[in-house]
């Protein structure tokens, strides 16, 4: 990331998966790493399971822009089935990065860097499951931190500040496993 560059990120998830929380955790970790940022929740008439989006901006300099994000640098997909329901690549900048929760490299057409991590397996292995849904937001934040070169310790601290006790420890471990396991190509 250059000194002037503002990285704009769009998160795609389903209601209840924690896309808004993921954006906030990422920005908090970036602040801990000496950067600037803003998390931008987007709320509508969503319900559990319905497609939702959230946004974040991070930079080495103060982030002055407050407008919505139309051409993200990075798109994060918490539920890989969403790519069949909504155009998750809409507006993604040429040369931008797609980070997707997947056990294998997804087939993606276009001039994008593709990264993936099996966040469902990580969350399931650690017992991070609620009402039958694997809680993938913290592993995805860990993977995104690796893509952005944010120290994992800052992500872990951000998570433990937001989620107390044993649950915070497990979510921090999930983030670390995803940080260590994310695969990128291109």
pLDDT of residue 25: 97
pLDDT at 186 over 80: no
pLDDT digits (tens, 9 = 90+) for 47-65: 666 788 999 999 999 998 8
pLDDT of residue 16: 78
Average pLDDT of span 23-35:
97
**Is residue 109, in this structure, part of any structural domain at all?**
yes
Q: In this prediction, what percent of the chain has a pLDDT beyond 70?
A: 94
Cβ atoms of 177 and 122 within 8 Å: the answer is yes
Give the confidence band of 180 by pLDDT, cuts at 50, 70, 90.
Answer: very high
**Is residue 1, in this structure, part of any structural domain at all?**
no
Average pLDDT of span 162-178:
97
**Is residue 83, in this structure, part of any structural domain at all?**
yes
Task: Indicate which CATH number applies to the domain containing 15.
Answer: 3.40.920.10
**Is residue 168, in this structure, part of any structural domain at all?**
yes
**C-alpha–C-alpha distance, residues 15 and 32, integer Å:** 28
Between the alpha carbon of residue 170 and those of residues 22, 58, 59, 135, 174, the distances in Å are 15, 26, 28, 11, 6
Give the confidence band of 94 by pLDDT, cuts at 50, 70, 90.
Answer: very high
Average pLDDT of span 4-31:
92
Cβ atoms of 151 and 136 within 8 Å: the answer is no
pLDDT digits (tens, 9 = 90+) for 107-156: 877 899 999 999 999 999 999 998 888 999 999 999 999 999 999 999 99
Domain that holds residue 101: 6-185
Say how many domains are in the chain: 1
pLDDT of residue 45: 56
Q: What is the mean pLDDT of the chain?
A: 91
Give the confidence band of 83 by pLDDT, cuts at 50, 70, 90.
Answer: confident
Cβ atoms of 110 and 45 within 8 Å: the answer is no
């Amino acid at each position: 990331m250059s000194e002037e560059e503002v990285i704009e990120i769009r998160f795609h998830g389903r209601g209840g998966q924690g896309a808004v929380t993921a954006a906030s955790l990422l920005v908090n970790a970036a602040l801990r790493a000496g950067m600037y940022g803003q998390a931008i929740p987007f709320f509508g008439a969503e319900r559990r399971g319905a497609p939702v989006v959230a946004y974040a901006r991070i930079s080495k300099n103060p982030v002055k822009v407050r407008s919505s994000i139309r051409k993200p640098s990075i798109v994060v997909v918490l539920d890989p089935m969403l790519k069949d329901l909504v155009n998750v690549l809409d507006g993604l900048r040429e040369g931008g990065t797609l980070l997707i929760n997947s056990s294998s490299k997804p087939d993606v057409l276009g001039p994008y860097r593709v990264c993936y991590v099996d966040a469902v397996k990580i969350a399931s292995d650690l017992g991070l499951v609620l009402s039958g849904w694997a809680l993938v937001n913290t592993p995805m934040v860990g993977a995104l931190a690796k893509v952005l070169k944010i120290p994992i310790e800052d992500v872990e601290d951000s998570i433990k500040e937001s989620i107390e006790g044993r649950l915070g420890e497990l979510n921090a471990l999930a983030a670390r496993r995803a940080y260590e396991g994310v695969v990128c190509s291109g």
